[in-house]
Amino acid sequence: MTGRVALVTGAARGIGAATVRALVTEGWSVLAVDRATDDPDLPYPMASRADLDRVVSENCSRAGDSGRVQGYVADVRDHAALASAVAEAERRWGGLDAAIACAGVIAGGVPLWQMPTSQQQAVLDIDLGGVITLAAVSIPALLRRPEPRSGRFLAIASSAATRGMPMLATYCAAKAGVAGLIRALGAELGGTGITANAVSPGSTDSPILAESARLYGLPDAQSFAVQQPFGRLLHPDEIAATLLFLAGSASTGITGAVLPVDGGLSL
Ligand SMILES: NC(=O)c1ccc[n+]([C@@H]2O[C@H](COP(=O)([O-])OP(=O)(O)OC[C@H]3O[C@@H](n4cnc5c(N)ncnc54)[C@H](O)[C@@H]3O)[C@@H](O)[C@H]2O)c1
């Protein structure tokens, strides 16, 4: 995969940061995109600029300071900012081979009808709208690669895409939307050489899971481990490994798929 170029959103921590690490280790050049500042609509911290800078510097060292990793601050709700990020990846490395939508937020903890409208809107606009926008601005770049193409559009859905999780109604709706989007893109991209797929993680040890625990009144993220048949939380690297496989040359037969990486949570 040397010479391949990826754009990863939500790259400053958690699954996005693990995905940047996995791609860089396999020789990819990566534009690491994150909002990198708190969101006034949400009551828990987003990643910071320092988090994003740390991901970039650690991966620059990993890549031997070869200029293969660059940070980029953009909010996935901002169409123009994401389009500029795609343009930056193409300008810097000559094209784009994979766009990976990892940015996401959670809110809830109360029934839908008690949830502040601003939080409902943030979850829908980031978790679904942000993925649609990334697809809209990145797929033309994937199509600009010469044939035979092997571009990849990848997103993160969730076990919440298929399970009715109380107190997380808009999150479930957004993630089900991501699954529907991926199925449609898989069909739309037929014959182009480009595939669209998603992974559906179970409970994965990251700040969003700590916020989920708070929303459910649980002591910490670890409390979710007992719900997963394999009896532990997933590590972000385990989700990143599947995204790396889907981004790579061994996944040519898969498109429009939403793969559970969930320790059996969906059983
Ligand atoms: N951790 C889990 O248990 C779990 C389970 C299922 C699905 N997911 C999904 O995996 C994805 C990654 O989550 P994570 O576990 O790494 O969470 P995380 O909170 O650690 O990381 C999310 C990242 O997205 C960034 N972000 C948030 N809003 C943004 C915006 N508007 N624009 C750009 N960046 C923004 C944050 O700054 C942060 O760096 C999310 O889509 C989440 O819904 C996570």
Tokens of 103: 């940015």
Protein residue closest via CA to atom 23 of ligand 1: 10
pLDDT reading at 151 higher than 80: yes
For ligand 1, pick from 46, 119, 234 the residue to mutate: most ligand atoms within 8 Å of CB.
46
For residues 260 and 158, give the distance between their C-alpha atoms in angstroms, rounded to a whole number.
Answer: 8
**What count of other Cβ atoms lies within 10 Å of the Cβ of residue 239?**
26
Q: Is the CB of 211 within 6 Å of ligand 1? A: no
Phi, psi of 230 (to 5 degrees): -85, 5
Q: Is the CB of 46 within 6 Å of ligand 1? A: yes
Residue 111, C-beta contacts closer than 8 angstroms, at least 6 positions apart: 166, 167, 169
Q: Is the CB of 55 within 6 Å of ligand 1? A: no
Q: Is the CB of 85 within 6 Å of ligand 1? A: no
What is the position in ligand 1's atom list of the atom closest to the CA of 208? 19
pLDDT tens across 223-245, in order? 999 999 999 999 999 999 999 99
When pLDDT is averaged across residues 66-75 and rounded to a whole number, the result is 95
For ligand 1, pick from 208, 212, 266 the residue to mutate: most ligand atoms within 8 Å of CB.
208
pLDDT tens across 243-253, in order? 999 999 999 99
Phi, psi of 116 (to 5 degrees): -55, 140
- Catalytic residue check, 44: no
Alpha helices, H only, the chain = 14-25, 49-62, 79-93, 117-123, 130-144, 169-188, 207-215, 236-247
pLDDT reading at 65 higher than 80: no
Break the chain down into helix, strand, coil percent, rounded to 5: 45, 15, 40
Phi, psi of 13 (to 5 degrees): -165, 180
Question: Which pLDDT score is estimated for 2?
Answer: 62
Question: Which pLDDT score is estimated for 61?
Answer: 85
Question: Which pLDDT score is estimated for 142?
Answer: 98
pLDDT tens across 165-222, in order? 999 999 999 999 999 999 999 999 999 999 999 999 999 999 999 999 999 999 999 9
Q: Is the CB of 199 within 6 Å of ligand 1? A: no
Sign of CA dihedral 214, 168, 174, 115: negative
| DSSP for residue 42 | S
Question: Which pLDDT score is estimated for 80?
Answer: 98
Confidence of residue 5 (pLDDT cuts 50, 70, 90): very high
When pLDDT is averaged across residues 8-31 and rounded to a whole number, the result is 98
Q: Which of 64-68, 98-102, 216-220, 235-239 has the lowest mean pLDDT?
A: 64-68
Confidence of residue 256 (pLDDT cuts 50, 70, 90): very high
When pLDDT is averaged across residues 118-137 and rounded to a whole number, the result is 99
> Cα-Cα-Cα-Cα dihedral of 90, 134, 181, 225, to 10°?
110
Domains of the chain: 5-261 (3.40.50.720)
Tokens of 40: 């006034």
Confidence of residue 140 (pLDDT cuts 50, 70, 90): very high
Residue 62, C-beta contacts closer than 8 angstroms, at least 6 positions apart: 21, 24, 25
Which residue in 213, 234, 108, 101 sits closest to 166, CA to CA? 108
pLDDT reading at 66 higher than 90: no
Residue 75, C-beta contacts closer than 8 angstroms, at least 6 positions apart: 35, 81
pLDDT reading at 1 higher than 80: no
